[in-house]
Amino acid sequence: MTIELNKVVSVHYNLNEGTSEGQLVESTNGGEPLAFIYGVGMMIPAFEANLAGLTIGDTFAFGILAAEAYGEYDPTALVEVPKQIFEHEGAIPDGLLEVGNVLPLQDPEGNRMQGMVAHVGDENVKLDFNHPMAGVDLFFTGHVETVRDAEPAELEHGHVHGAGGHHH
């Protein structure tokens, strides 16, 4: 069976920064494969494009430029906010404002987002709203484990059910 629209695909992969020799970011080897429905917007479009037409057992090796992955790093996504907004009952919880912490936040319109603490000053905190992989070229190597037709319920819910997927 060939990877195409509305197929459930599972792959094992290594993700490295930039090239196959770059720093290893993530690997499914030794664990569960990544399972997704091809063509429904779950994955980076360039990732899916590089898997199109492959079949079970095929291997892959390809790069994706940052602009086609998680975007270029945007310096305007660094925002300085008053430290006091993190106070709870008059104090900032211990360990909350440490550089590298990722904080779940909400804007005035109720939109949820995550900001990473980039700098903590005396009065203000600088938050970085870039994706952690923004500005990073990606390089994937791996192989196709399985390809099957997506079930109607999977297509309706927009995700894979069962092994390697979501359990209701």
Q: Which residues contact 8 (CB under 8 A, 6 or more apart)?
A: 35, 36, 37, 38, 146, 147, 148, 149, 150, 154, 160, 165
User: Model-level pTM greater than 0.85?
Assistant: no
> CATH 3.10.50.40 spans which residues of the chain?
7-70+133-157
**144, 8 in Cβ contact below 8 A?**
no
* Predicted pLDDT at 162: 75
What is the reported pLDDT for 164?
59
Topology classification of domain 7-70+133-157: Chitinase A; domain 3 (3.10.50)
Residue 167 reports pLDDT greater than 60: no
Q: How confident is the model at residue 122 (pLDDT cuts 50, 70, 90)?
A: very high
- State yes or no: pLDDT of 168 exceeds 80: no
Percent of the chain whose pLDDT exceeds 70: 96
Distance CA 134, CA 90 (A): 35
Q: Does the pLDDT at position 165 exceed 90?
A: no
Q: 75-128 — its CATH code?
A: 2.40.10.330
From 57, 47, 37, 26, select the one nearest 162 (Cα to Cα): 37
Q: The dihedral of CA 108, 111, 112, 113: what is its sign?
A: negative
Structure tokens at 35: 């399972």
Identify the pLDDT of residue 163. Answer: 62
For residue range 80-115, list pLDDT tens digits in order.
999 999 999 999 999 999 999 999 998 889 999 999
In the chain, ranges of CATH 2.40.10.330 domains: 75-128
Neighbours of 137 (CB within 10 A): 17
Residues 36-89: tens digit of each pLDDT: 999 999 999 999 999 999 999 999 999 999 999 999 999 999 999 999 999 999
